[in-house]
Amino acid sequence: MIGIIVVGHCKLSEELVRAAEFITGKIKGVQAVSLDPNAKVDLLRREVASAIEQVDSGDGILILADMFGGTPSNISLSFLEEGKVEVVTGVNLPMLIHIATRQKGTPLNQLAEEVRTYGKRSISLAGEILKKEVS
């Protein structure tokens, strides 16, 4: 089973995991790591390393960061290791829900691609959708 780590600013990662589990039930092998605005970067790096150890079952680790270029993303990128650790940025709730059904038995690179695609597809402009339905 692929281990999942959600990394984000403030309490975003914890709340995303909480919301996903509200919808899907408990998600195994997931850890949330939150960036406290007052914490030093070294502490967050140690927290990510600890989370990796906790969820690593040998099938790979998928780190989901809140936004590319932010501190959580930059720290996560330092753990990138082909075939072992992958990072996807721009995490959203539909991505976590998708992971809940696919993290077991799906290769790491395939799951990372699926999650990125699923996350993009889940973003909609409601006005366009409603105009098409009315027309």
pLDDT at site 103: 86
Question: Could you write out the three-class secondary structure of 60-90?
Answer: CEEEEECCCCCHHHHHHHCCCECCCEEEEEC
Alpha-carbon span 92 to 17, nearest angstrom: 10
CATH domain 3-134 topology: Rossmann fold (3.40.50)
What is the separation, in whole angstroms, between the first and last Cα of the chain?
A: 45
Q: What's the pLDDT at 37?
A: 84
Residue 135's pLDDT is 65
- For 16-35, letters b (16+ CB in 10 Å) and e give bbeebeeeeeebebbbbbbb
Task: Identify the residue whose tokens are 């949330």.
Answer: 32
* Each residue's pLDDT expressed in tens, for the chain with a length of 135 residues: 999 999 999 999 999 999 999 999 999 999 999 998 888 889 999 999 999 999 999 999 999 999 999 999 999 999 999 999 999 999 999 999 999 988 888 999 999 999 999 999 999 998 888 887 776
Phi, psi of 67 (to 5 degrees): -155, 140
